[in-house]
Amino acid sequence: MNLKDIAKAAGVSTATVSRVLSGKDNVRADTRKRILEVVDRMNYRPNRAARSLRSRRSSFIGLIVADIQSPFFASLSRGVEDIAQKNDYSVILCNTDENPKKERMYLDMMQGENAAGVVVAPTLRLSKTITRSVADSCATVVIDRRVQGVDVDMVLIDNVTAAHDLTAHMLGHGYTRLAGLFGESSSTGLERRAGFEQALQDAGMPSDEQLVLHLPAREDAAHEAVSRFLELDNPPEAVITSNGMLAAGAFRALRDREISVPEEVAFATFDETPWTAMIRPSVTVVRQPAYALGQTAAEMLFKRIADPERPTRQVVLSSELVIRQSCGNHKE
């Protein structure tokens, strides 16, 4: 079965069928409805290989993220995939593990395989060195992490403001000695540290460099760091982490030392994960719209694929500060 069969059954031209199936809106509503009814009745499915040959473009997009084990990236990936399926595209998922060499390899692979487009959460190194050639050769949307000096579509949250508000909330409870753990391989870690330190500055408090670290986004790294904090003569009164992987390691370190949260050390983090709401005390979080980030990025990507010359956009979505038990109020 091909487009000619559909056109004959619907009493229209193959060009009209093609316009309807490709999502063009210059077809009368009644004609569109009749064609889609025929498509459904005849159980027609487009030939992806033929479409790719005609368009010189594959029927897949790439999604390059740091680590799919992170609940944040898992939810983000689902948002991308759901929109891709609606557009009859497949998604090839790549994990960089925050490794710039792997990231470069995957970007080269997407270009070499003629991917229709790519959504990428770039490492800090790529954020500083990404060139126009990537976006010119392959429709590209940057997600979650900012890049500088390149005119490319981006979907972000306001990390500085979110971190500032979270830190200010902790300071509002009376804590004066705050520890902060931030990812070392992405622009989000830098931005969240900036918001953390701005809140301290606004409150007239110094930032203790001994308690503010950039780390790999791994549980073991955070566990080791917080364990060291607890051995200090003057340990922190509160711990803030900038992502879910660091949060898991940091909270486990507090539990391993039988530290009471929030009575002895308060705790808060970025990223809502399944455990943050279920444990006791439940954890105060900055809830990011991960699924919406993925959806929005994919929608922007398919608009870019359809119209490569359209102006680039930067979309900033809102996060939400969810107050729970772990930040405490024993200082008030």
In the chain, what are the domain boundaries?
3-45, 59-157+290-319, 159-288+321-327
What number of helices (H) and strands (E) belong to the chain? Answer: 14, 12
Residue written as token pair 């102006």: 311
Lowest average pLDDT, out of 39-48, 300-309, 315-324, goes to 39-48
pLDDT value for 149: 78
**Averaged pLDDT for residues 100-121:** 89
Could you tell me the pLDDT band of residue 329, with boundaries at 50, 70 and 90? Answer: low
For residue 269, which phi and psi values (nearest 5 degrees)? -155, 165
Is residue 234 predicted with pLDDT exceeding 90? yes
Residue 259 has pLDDT above 70, yes or no: yes
Does residue 54 register a pLDDT over 80? no
pLDDT confidence band for 23 (50 / 70 / 90): low
Comparison of pLDDT for 332 and 185, the residue scoring more: 185
Spell out where 26-121 has E strands. 60-65, 90-95, 117-120
Cα–Cα distance for residue pair 259/274, rounded to 1 Å: 22
Rounded Cα distance, 212 and 264, in Å: 19
The CATH architecture to which 59-157+290-319 belongs is 3-Layer(aba) Sandwich (3.40)
Residues 171 and 181 sit within 8 Å (Cβ to Cβ)? no
Question: CB-based contacts of 279: which residues, under 8 Å, 6+ apart?
Answer: none
What is the CATH code of the structural domain delimited by 159-288+321-327? 3.40.50.2300
Q: How far apart are CA 317 and CA 158, in angstroms?
A: 7
pLDDT band for 18, please (50, 70, 90 cuts): confident
| 301's tokens | 């990507």
Q: Has residue 330 got a pLDDT over 70? A: no
| Helix, strand, coil % over all residues of the chain, rounded to 5 | 50, 15, 35
pLDDT at residue 118 above 60?
Answer: yes
Contact status, residue 318 vs residue 289, Cβ threshold 8 Å: yes
- Average pLDDT (12-27) is 78
- Residue 134 pLDDT grade (very low, low, confident, very high; cuts 50, 70, 90): low
pLDDT band at 136 (very low <50, low <70, confident <90, very high): low
- Percentage of the residues of the chain whose pLDDT score is greater than 90: 63
Can you give the pTM of this predicted structure?
0.78
Q: What is the pLDDT of residue 8?
A: 87
Sign of CA dihedral 213, 218, 222, 227: negative
Lowest average pLDDT, out of 36-40, 78-82, 165-169, goes to 36-40
* Segment 153-194, tens digit of pLDDT: 999 999 999 999 999 999 999 999 999 999 998 889 999 999
Q: What is the mean pLDDT of residues 242-267?
A: 96
**Cβ atoms of residues 300 and 61 within 8 Å:** no
Average pLDDT over residues 82-90: 95
Query: Torsion over CA of 56, 60, 61 and 64, rounded to 10 degrees?
Result: -130
Closest CA to 148 of 98, 187, 102, 190: 187
Domain 159-288+321-327 in the same topology as domain 59-157+290-319? yes
> What confidence score (pLDDT) does residue 331 get?
39
> According to CATH, what is the number of the domain 3-45?
1.10.260.40
CA dist 125 and 187 (Å) reads: 9
181 phi/psi in degrees, rounded to 5: -115, 125
Which H or E run includes 285?
A: strand 284-287
Tokens of 25: 């809106």
CA terminus-to-terminus distance, the chain: 73
Contact (Cβ atoms closer than 8 angstroms) between residue 300 and residue 313: yes
Res. 332 pLDDT band, cuts 50 70 90: very low
21-25, 35-39, 120-124, 211-215: segment of lowest average pLDDT: 21-25
CB 133 within 8 A of CB 101: no
pLDDT at 237: 96
Residue 214 DSSP class: E
